[in-house]
Amino acid sequence: MNTPVMSVGLAGARPRVRWVIFGFLFAFTFAAYVQRTAISVAAVPMMPQLGLSQVQIGWLETAFLISYTALQFPGGVLGQFIGMSRMLTLCGVLAVLATAAVPGAPAIASGNALFCVLLAAQLVLGVAQSPLFALVSGLLERWFPSHQWALTQGMASGGMGLGSAAAPAVIASLMVVCGWRPALLIVALPVLLLVAFWFQYGRDTPWQHGGVSGAELDELTHTPGDVTASAPTWARMRVLLVNWDLAGLTVSYLCMNFVFYLLTYWSFLYLVQARHFTVLDGGFLAAVPALGGAAGAAGGGVAASALVRRFGARAGLRILPLATLPASGVLLLLSVHAESAMLALAGLTLAFGLLEVNEACFWAASMEIGGTDAVAAGGILNTGGNLGGIVATPLVAWLSEGGNWTTPFVLGAGFAAISAALWLVVDTGARRGGLGPQDPSCEGTPCVTCEGTPCVTCEGTPCVTGVRGAEPPGLL
């Protein structure tokens, strides 16, 4: 499927294929968040019908997060090795099967056995989705010029918010009409069409796609040589794993994602249990904070892109987190203490919007640090991000089962402040991993300068002159 196609058509004013590729990636992120939030929305009828407790629902969500988090980096590296487009296709099919297994489970098991089947389905869903956002990051790095990375990352993150917003409203409506099992099956099946179309159209790079014009290739900031040199090596992976700036960014993302998972997974139950909305009303109203998050992510992409153009990556990507993360924490505190349920909803929406402004900053920063190893760098970043979910999900389930909704939001405010503070020590002004510009010297071994920028780590072997970032063989 990914055989290089070097006939790219005539230069001219043709539609940019990269935006069609972006549309696919946006759809994948949208579908992923519908899939992953399905159980939390269906939890209200599932618990009495299947004899599940709220803590067990929390563990089902945690099971997803455990496999999802554990395989972020390995999944990203594997995707970079076998091909990002092929990996995305495989993961899409597996995610559909895992999602459909949840409504099918009561037909084959009951009691503890049923809980084990549901747990296994969630673990498989986590495996399927684990490399998704790393793959998105790597494909955006390949298909778009660097000045559009923050913009496209923010817009892709908007797909997450729209998926989170759509899931409560759509699933709750379907549950009222036909029950929770058909509802979950209905939302799972259309993703197969998305995967089939992607299999036919998607490619890892513009040089592999027959519809890309010469004019579009001229707008990119890499060369065909980067493509052949981008397979992962142990040396480059070690560089990423010990990179202190990427580590600081990852811990900051962990703290931010405590708040993200609090709002994504628990807004529906909070509105129903603490603010006493009906299930149907709660399903629609729970979409409002997620829509705020989607708008914030898209707006953050535009703002971050403009700030990077104005101040450079080091300062430009730092401004928004320092301003908006603490403000999001303050809004969480105001929301949980508000007398009016509608004021609380408005506060949660603004808090989610300000939180998601920063998605573009985090992911663009990982791309700056990772260079053409953006997939692996994104895997590391999202590993930390989802550790925040592993902390948040069972903790919020345990606290909220007793009706204590104040403490989770207070904790969220604290994590938002820590996340902001860590940006003071993260330097995204130069790439230190991968094959991109401004890579470090080769640990004492002189490199041949290629196209005016230093080459990547060579482990004692000079780089090849004239091919930016080329290095000796040594695949994982």
Q: Are residues 295 and 385 in the same domain?
A: yes
Q: Is the pLDDT of residue 360 over 50?
A: yes
CB atoms within 10 A of CB 340: 10
Range among 9-18, 88-97, 280-289, 453-462 with highest mean pLDDT value: 88-97
- Name the more confident of 122 and 266: 122
**Res 279: pLDDT:** 63
Average pLDDT over residues 82-106: 91
| CATH code for the domain in which residue 63 is found | 1.20.1250.20
Residue 210 has what pLDDT?
Answer: 84
Residue 311 has pLDDT above 60, yes or no: yes
Closest by alpha carbon to 114, among 49, 175, 184, 30? 49
Spell out a b/e string for 249-276, using b for 16 or more CB atoms within 10 Å of the CB, else e.
bbbbbbbbbbbbbbbbbbbbbbbbbbbe
Distance, CA of 168 to CA of 269 (rounded, Å): 11
pLDDT value at 440 more than 60: no
Residues 470 and 378 in one domain: no
Same domain, 362 and 474: no
Q: Which of 425, 447, 462 is the last residue of a domain?
A: 425
Looking at the structure, tell me whether residues 196 and 260 fall in a common domain.
Answer: yes
Which pLDDT score is estimated for 435? 45
Residue 249 sits in the same domain as residue 291: yes
Tell me, what's the pLDDT at 280? 61
Asked if residue 443 and residue 379 are part of one domain, the reply reads no
Q: pLDDT for 146-196, tens place per residue?
A: 788 888 988 888 887 788 777 777 888 888 888 888 888 888 888 999 999
pLDDT at 94: 94
Q: Which residue in 279, 396, 389 sits closest to 336, CA to CA?
A: 396
18 in Cβ contact with 156 (< 8 Å): no
Distance CA 125, CA 66 (A): 11
Are 292 and 162 contacting, i.e. CB atoms less than 8 angstroms apart? no
Indicate if 322 and 454 belong to the same structural domain: no
Q: Are residues 25 and 51 in the same domain?
A: yes
**Category of 459 on φ-ψ map: left (φ > 0), alpha (ψ -120 to 50) or beta:** left
Domain that holds residue 57: 17-425
- Give dist(CA 209, CA 6) in Å, integer: 8
432: in domain: no
The verdict on residue 434 lying in a domain is no
Domain stop point among 384, 403, 425: 425
Q: Which residue has the higher pLDDT, 346 or 161?
A: 346
**Confidence category of residue 287, pLDDT binned at 50, 70, 90:** confident
Q: 137, 375 in Cβ contact below 8 A?
A: yes
Q: Is residue 313 part of a domain?
A: yes
The answer to the question of residue 357 being in a domain is: yes
CB atoms within 10 A of CB 413: 19
Same domain, 411 and 461: no
User: Per-residue pLDDT for 9 more than 70?
Assistant: no
* 53 vs 125 pLDDT, higher one: 125
Nearest CA to 362 out of 346, 386, 395 is that of 386
7 within domain boundaries = no
Report yes or no on 470 lying in a domain.
yes
Number of domains in the chain: 2
Q: Identify whether residues 231 and 133 lie together within a single domain.
A: yes
Position 327 in a domain: yes
> Per-residue pLDDT for 298 more than 50?
yes
- Residue 453: strand pairing partners: 450
Q: What is the pLDDT of residue 230?
A: 56
**Would you say the pTM of this structure is higher than 0.85?**
no
Is there a single domain that holds both residue 187 and residue 109? yes
Residue 206 included in any domain: yes
353 and 450 assigned to the same domain = no
Q: Which of 262, 327, 335 is nearest to 296 (CA)?
A: 327
Q: What would the pLDDT profile of 205-250 be if each residue is shown by its tens digit?
A: 898 888 888 888 888 766 554 554 456 677 888 888 888 899 999 9
